[in-house]
């Protein structure tokens, strides 16, 4: 299996003067889910090189086992420091694409023409697309057969109540939950904020929040294996 992971290169949190980027758990947890599953993983970002880590994601209260593992893994750190550029990749080289969240993607990926074309290329080719937390926002201009890719599909993403809890409702360009609903998505969320919640609808996988990162990556690996098994059975 070959999976492409697309990261933000944006480090400014709107007009707040504060830093942002990708959420470290949303990279680290999927990274190891994929690596432990034997996936051939390729990392890219909008500008290439080292993507910015949201400093809040690395606070003591946000530490996870995957983050600890990453910090003790020079090879993984080297992978992250040397991402390729988004505009240099093509879907033909991979089986699926995965987008980690954090607030950064809300500025440099949601309207990025290269990202939009890439997701459409994956989906049109019958390949899975996965995104967690704020990253489902990158789907808001993606279409499939002339309609929004999320239209009529069960989806999730960072909930309005979670955005309100971090006091960024009026800072982000738009609210992920509202936008997915506006586009015709059947939005779902966990009964309690910050609880893991992953939705798979066909070839589209979305996760609600940082706690959904592991589950989102595991769902993608399972879907790819199921698709491979199905193709094998058909061939036989």
Between CA 206 and CA 131 the distance in angstroms is 5
Calpha distance 121→144 (Å, rounded):
10
* Residue with the two structure tokens 């990556």: 217
How many CB atoms neighbour CB 233 within 10 A? 8
CATH topology of domain 2-235: Rossmann fold (3.40.50)
- pTM above the 0.85 mark? yes
pLDDT tens digit sequence for 71-89: 999 999 999 999 999 998 9
Give domain limits for the chain. 2-235
pLDDT in tens, 80-116: 999 999 998 999 999 999 999 999 999 999 999 999 9
């Amino acid at each position: 299996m070959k999976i492409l992971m697309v990261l933000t290169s944006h480090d400014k949190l709107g007009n707040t003067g504060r830093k942002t980027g990708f959420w470290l758990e949303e990279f680290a947890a999927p990274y190891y889910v994929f690596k432990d599953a034997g996936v051939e993983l390729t990392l890219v970002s909008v500008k290439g090189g080292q993507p910015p880590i949201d400093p809040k994601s690395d606070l003591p209260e946000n530490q996870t086992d995957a983050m600890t593992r990453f910090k003790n893994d020079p090879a993984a750190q080297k992978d992250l420091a040397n991402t390729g550029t988004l505009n240099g990749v093509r879907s033909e080289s991979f089986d699926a694409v995965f987008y980690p969240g954090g607030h950064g993607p809300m500025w440099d990926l949601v309207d990025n023409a290269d990202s939009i074309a890439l997701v459409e290329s994956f989906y049109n080719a019958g390949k899975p697309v996965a995104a967690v937390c704020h990253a489902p926002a990158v789907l808001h201009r993606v279409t499939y057969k002339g309609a929004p890719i999320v239209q009529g599909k069960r989806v999730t993403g960072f909930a309005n109540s979670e955005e309100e809890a971090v006091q960024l409702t009026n800072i982000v360009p738009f609210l992920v939950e509202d936008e997915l609903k506006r586009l015709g998505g059947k939005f779902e969320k966990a009964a309690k904020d910050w609880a893991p919640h992953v939705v798979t609808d066909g070839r589209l996988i979305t996760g609600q929040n940082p706690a959904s990162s592991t589950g989102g990556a595991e769902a993608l690996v399972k879907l790819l294996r199921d698709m491979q098994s199905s193709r094998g059975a058909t061939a036989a």
